[in-house]
Structure 1
């Protein structure tokens, strides 16, 4: 009886047949380069994720737009009911009446209520009561979203814009640099680098290789870290030229995991390097220098390199 042998995959859950030239699985900002088509409208909606993930400018823009739309809708309802059913409305033109109804709506939705304008009949009171309830719910939701944005753990790790193929001891090494520009402390930092490359120049199938690193884990991460993959005889890059790696449409996929002391949670960071983003025969400049009784690092020079002849 033939025993079944479980096959081990290194593809990270990415498509092994995405062999198109110029294909990139992971963007530089860590987002996946995947477009999902023909997804039902309600299946692709994720309001909470969108609101906590978008930029602060867009977030406040969405809140402001929602606030004005609600007031415009309710101001229109008050005009339909009739401004004669609201006390204190002094406007004589439709525009003046709409403006006063709009600001009355703003006072009602925030439960502020200056008392100058008040509803008189049943319809106006029902609209005002509905608006005040909606205002309470909307502001509670906005508060929750604000808290979600502030409490969301994320790693703001900065990557060098390019990698290098540089001399490393008596061989060569694939290298890139990372640094934590924030003042929060990251500990137990682990890194995983996977090489994705076409099986051959004509193939649509991609092979994935987990690259062995000089150091896969550091306990503390207060300074800049140069991550090195030694290109020895067991490396999939051994004896590969720059042109061969480019023709193989190589992509180096990086994932970093760390424990963030501020959030007391594990955070992740992702990025990638394409073959065209590798500088051959260059080495990163050493940036750490003495500063008083400690050290200083010029983070703006994370991409600084100098020429260095590769080992044969």
Structure 2
């Protein structure tokens, strides 16, 4: 009989829209705080509900197993034991049922102690989930290679979706380059692209990230090849209302980069008031021949 083999843990990671896997990393249960923080709200609420029900099922079974431990409870009644457990865990205590023996008091005291930890943990997690930075930046679904002031350029457009501006905004644009070593090995590295403007003191509307292209650049060669191509955009700034760091990222594959295209205008001046139409953030048009 073949010995049991433990399969290495596979962990999915999201690189701004591009998915990858880490194999052989630690199990998610080794960092419960981080795992609960990255859960969606429905998953988090469902987990808390299951733990709450599970604790009360266990203690409800214990109470029902010791007749006379709880006053006014029907002997061996799981329902009475369960609901008394709910009232004890929440430290409500309506008064209809109460511990009637030293054993009942001991079990209830242990459950109250567990309830304090359970409530404090959930309160901290809920506060942490509400207070963590939220993405306030939206990126265009496509990048374009067109003309910027008459020169060929790679361009990505982004905008802030909040009513207050972002301050001290910094941007990075990079692509995943494959490097072949003389010994036959290969590795991949992120190559940062030089931007015309990589810093914006105050972002209220939209911003175009522009990288001027030189003839025969490695980026153009990579686009023309059949190798995997990934372009990554990262923007971070300070929310002027919450005084917290706000950041966003997005990645583009080869099919997401339109050649000989320009972005359509999204900012218009109507009677002296600027209007940003986020519905047109992804809209492009082909360059004239």
TM-score by length of 1: 0.78
Q: CA deviation at 1:59?
A: 1.6
Quote the residue 1:27 is aligned against.
15
- Is the Cα contact below 8 Å between 2:223 and 2:229 reproduced in 1? no
Give distance in 2, aligned partners of 1:292 and 1:86. 75
Give distance in 2, aligned partners of 1:60 and 1:178. 33
Structure with bigger strand share is: 2
Q: Say if 2:75 is the partner of 1:88.
A: no
- Is the Cα contact below 8 Å between 2:136 and 2:246 reproduced in 1? no
Instruction: Write out per-residue CA displacement over residues 75-114 of structure 1, whole angstroms, 9 at most, x where no aligned residue.
Output: 01111222x3322224x7x6xx211211111111111000
Instruction: Write out per-residue CA displacement over residues 41-75 of structure 1, whole angstroms, 9 at most, x where no aligned residue.
Output: 4x862122222222221121111111111111110
> Superposed, which structure 2 residues align to 1:32-111 within 5 Å?
33-37=20-24, 39=26, 41=27, 45-82=30-67, 84-90=68-74, 97-111=77-91
| 1:182–1:50 Cα change, 3 Å | farther
Give distance in 2, aligned partners of 1:68 and 1:152. 28
Instruction: Write out per-residue CA displacement over residues 176-204 of structure 1, whole angstroms, 9 at most, x where no aligned residue.
Output: 1111212343111111111222347x973
Unmatched tracts of structure 1, length 5 or more: 1-24
Quote the residue 2:119 is aligned against.
139
SS of equivalent to 1:46: helix
| 1:44–1:118 Cα change, 3 Å | closer
- Is the Cα contact below 8 Å between 2:155 and 2:211 reproduced in 1? yes
Give distance in 1, aligned partners of 2:174 and 2:234. 9
Give distance in 2, aligned partners of 1:107 and 1:292. 63
Quote the residue 1:272 is aligned against.
251
Give distance in 2, aligned partners of 1:222 and 1:243. 36
SS of equivalent to 2:119: helix
Quote the residue 2:137 is aligned against.
157
TM-score by length of 2: 0.84
Q: CA deviation at 1:267?
A: 3.5
> Superposed, which structure 2 residues align to 1:121-136 within 5 Å?
121-136=101-116
Q: CA deviation at 1:241?
A: 8.1
| 1:241–1:255 Cα change, 3 Å | closer
Q: CA deviation at 1:154?
A: 3.5
| 1:168–1:276 Cα change, 3 Å | same
- Is the Cα contact below 8 Å between 2:170 and 2:237 reproduced in 1? yes
Between 1:116-125 and 1:207-216, the stretch displaced more is: 207-216
Unmatched tracts of structure 2, length 5 or more: 1-12
Q: CA deviation at 1:216?
A: 0.6
Instruction: Decide which of 191, 199, 214 is 1:209's aligned counterpart.
Output: 191
Give distance in 1, aligned partners of 2:101 and 2:190. 72
Q: CA deviation at 1:250?
A: 2.3
- Is the Cα contact below 8 Å between 2:71 and 2:97 reproduced in 1? yes
| 1:122–1:26 Cα change, 3 Å | closer
- Is the Cα contact below 8 Å between 2:164 and 2:204 reproduced in 1? no
Q: CA deviation at 1:309?
A: 4.1
Instruction: Write out per-residue CA displacement over residues 240-285 of structure 1, whole angstroms, 9 at most, x where no aligned residue.
Output: 48533xx242221222221222342333333221222111122111
Instruction: Decide which of 215, 218, 238 is 2:200's aligned counterpart.
Output: 218
